Amino acid sequence: MTEVETDRLDYRGAIPYVMLHLAPLAVFLVGWTPLAVAACLFSYLLRMFGITAGYHRYFSHRSYQTSRAFQFVLAVLGATAGQNGPLWWAAHHRHHHRHADTGQDPHSPGLRGFFWSHTVWFLTCRSSKTNLEAVRDLARYPELHLFERHPHKATWIYAFCWFFLGIFIETRMPFLGTTRWQLLVWAYFVSTILVYHATFSINSLSHVFGSRRYETRDSSRNHFWLALITLGEGWHNNHHRYPGSERQGFFWWELDLTHYALKGLERLGLVWGLREPPRSLLGAERTV
């Protein structure tokens, strides 16, 4: 295949992706309730954690350790976000770090433009494939290949769970005024789109807007608001300076909610060996 051919849209994935963006418009049909909006927020935070703590910091960078059982939990949680399986996600992200903002970077806004880096790149024939050689450490687990064979099954099961929970609430707790369709639309469809574009903003906006503490080979930047909506991923210049660190907010004033959650899981014994940035990058500052 030539580069032009492989950069063509993969319509089998692109059409459902576009259609999914129309689903949140159903909020104008189903309305809203405080419970439906709260469910949307909870669903957003849960799946964003699956992406940041699971797909990114664990599968892509192995910045902490966990058991094989909890590794699978992280894989399921990340897969509910509808961003393919952990092998696909980690392989592409590792490729990005090896070639950040060069001609081989799959989503550099400086080379291919904002729209490409934000959302088009992963809808191409080239990006639909998984380079298993890039994730040989993960590919030895047969259970992770389930997500390669059925990349969207987890997210649809997740959607049905919200729908059936909505049936229970609608029939057993009618005083809440929340219907099954409200819960499905808000907790699944709306939150899915929010998680999508919050995640994608790190590929696009974090290489355009913000400050640069470290002179890295790429255009990565730190941005507080992006860190807030992505649970800590917005400290992107920090991350590109030392990708192996589990903690991406290097200093106490850099809010990193994923790091705090992982510290809590560490106390429970579910994760361990959280890697810190080298002291040489922190100067006299103390870590938390």
Domain locations in the chain as residue ranges: 3-23+30-276
pLDDT, the chain, mean: 92
Average pLDDT in the 124-141 region?
Answer: 92
Q: DSSP characters for 36-52?
A: HHHHHHHHHHHHHHIII
Radius of gyration, CA atoms only, the chain: 19
DSSP reduced 3-state for 65? strand
The phi and psi torsions of 153 (rounded to 5 degrees) equal: -65, -40
- Contact predicate 59/43, CB 8 Å: no
Mean pLDDT of 242-254: 94
User: CA-CA distance, 190 to 169, in Å (whole number)?
Assistant: 19
Q: Looking at residue 1, what is its pLDDT?
A: 41
Q: State what percent of residues in the chain have pLDDT above 90.
A: 80
State the amino acid at position 231 in one-letter form.
L
C-alpha span between 12 and 14 (Å, rounded): 6
What is the identity of the amino acid at 244?
G
User: 124 in helix, strand or coil?
Assistant: strand
The owner of tokens 């930047």 is 221
Greater confidence (284 vs 35) lies with 35
Would you say residue 157 has pLDDT above 60? yes
Please determine, for residue 192, whether its predicted confidence score (pLDDT) is greater than 70.
yes
Residues 6+ apart with CB under 8 A from 59: 74, 75, 78, 86, 87, 89, 90, 135, 138
Model confidence at 131, pLDDT cuts 50, 70, 90, reads very high
Where is 224: in which H helix or E strand? helix 224-229
Question: Which pLDDT belongs to residue 185?
Answer: 97
| Least confident among 122-126, 130-134, 193-197, 219-223 | 122-126
Which of 258, 262, 190, 253 has its CA nearest to residue 229? Answer: 258
Measure the CA–CA gap between 44 and 195, rounded to whole angstroms: 6
Largest CA distance in the chain: 60
Task: Quote the pLDDT of residue 6.
Answer: 64
104/263 Cα distance (integer angstroms):
35
Predicted confidence band of residue 105 (pLDDT cuts 50, 70, 90): confident
Query: For position 29, what pLDDT does the model report?
Result: 95
Highest mean pLDDT among 46-55, 101-110, 202-211: 46-55
Three-state secondary structure call for residue 27: helix
% residues pLDDT > 70 (the chain): 96
pLDDT of residue 285 exceeding 70: no
Nearest to 203 by CA among 112, 79, 75, 84: 112
| Residues 42-52, mean pLDDT to the nearest whole number | 98
